[in-house]
Structure 1
Amino acid sequence: MTATRSTRQRDVIAQVLGRATGPLAVPEILGLAQSDLPGLGIATVYRTLKLLTEQGQIHPVTLDGETRYEAAGKGHHHHFSCTRCGRVFTLHTCPVTLPSGTVYPGGFVVEAHEVTLYGQCPECAAN
């Protein structure tokens, strides 16, 4: 019984992250997962996130000092953080043309880059 329950919890959390429009904070994951599993606790969410990260199914994203999680395998992408509602969205286009191996002024050799844009999401901008 415990193994089945554990698998169900893992599946629900993985599905929540798979459906998300951007990386989610732990309280967001808990709230969304509780709609399918009302008794789900925060400790189980943390344990499951650790396991899913170790398995390579999800990965952490740190934005403004807060760790969020998103499904792995999304390829190169960036994020938009709404300064009004606090939601974070995945951007599927790259606003920076800076390929790996580029030598940046001063002799910095680029290996990768991360970009987070800040502003108002379409919903907040409309209000």
Structure 2
Amino acid sequence: MSDLPVAERETRQRRAVLRVLRVSPHPLLPAELLAAARAEVPGLGLATVYRLLRRLLDQGMVQRVELPGEPARFQWAAHGHRHHFRCRGCGRVFELDYCPGSLQDWAPAGFRVEAHDVVLYGRCADCAGARLP
């Protein structure tokens, strides 16, 4: 038996979820994370994914990505501060490598910017090539 608390045990489920988050090029919905992790752990359930995400969030290993009007997605925290592109064709969300830096100059006089998040909307390369309406 492990000396680690239950929340920190390195279970097959935890390893699979961590691997999927580390390699994903974009933030994932819990259902997307579940589908990808089931390649390693076929019996993995959605409730377990949510429990693991909650623990990983508490440990600072995962970040919640919230887009207006969308359910929360999750990404590996080591990816750092990211902005996102949401495809209006297929609905996927992609991480952007560029950050405009401080946006303090955009704020009204006397206001202080504490954080920012930028979301671009349009069509990904696949959908733009397919010329979806």
TM range (shorter): 0.7 to 0.9
**Greater mean alpha carbon deviation, residues 63-72 or residues 99-108:** 99-108
> Closer, same or farther in 2 for the Cα pair 1:80/1:111, shift >3 Å?
same
1:122 counterpart letter in structure 2: A
1:62 CA drift (Å): 1.0
Please state whether the residue corresponding to 2:42 is helix, strand or coil.
Answer: coil
Q: CA 1:48–1:120 in 2, change beyond 3 Å: closer, same or farther?
A: same
Residues 100 and 125 of structure 1: CA distance in aligned 2, closer, same or farther (over 3 Å): closer
> What residue in structure 2 maps to residue 57 of structure 1?
61
**Higher fraction of strand:** 1
RMSD of aligned Cα (Å): 2.2
For structure 2, the 5+ residue unaligned runs are none
Superposition deviation, residue 6 in structure 1? 6.0
The ranges of structure 1 where at least 4 consecutive aligned residues each deviate by more than 3 angstroms after the TM superposition are 100-103
Corresponding residue of 1:42: 46
Gaps of 5+ in 1: none
Percent of aligned pairs sharing the same letter: 46
What does 1:84-99 align with in structure 2 at a 5 Å threshold?
84-94=89-99, 96-97=100-101, 99=102
Asked if the contact 1:103–1:109 (Cα under 8 Å) also holds between the matched residues in 2, the reply is: no
TM-score (norm 2): 0.83
TM-score (norm 1): 0.86
Quick check: 1:121 aligned with 2:111? no
State whether residues 78 and 114 of structure 1, in contact with CA within 8 Å, keep that contact through their aligned partners in structure 2: yes
One of 75, 80, 84 as aligned partner of 1:75: 80
Of 105, 108, 111 in structure 2, the residue corresponding to residue 105 of structure 1 is 108
Number of residue equivalences? 124
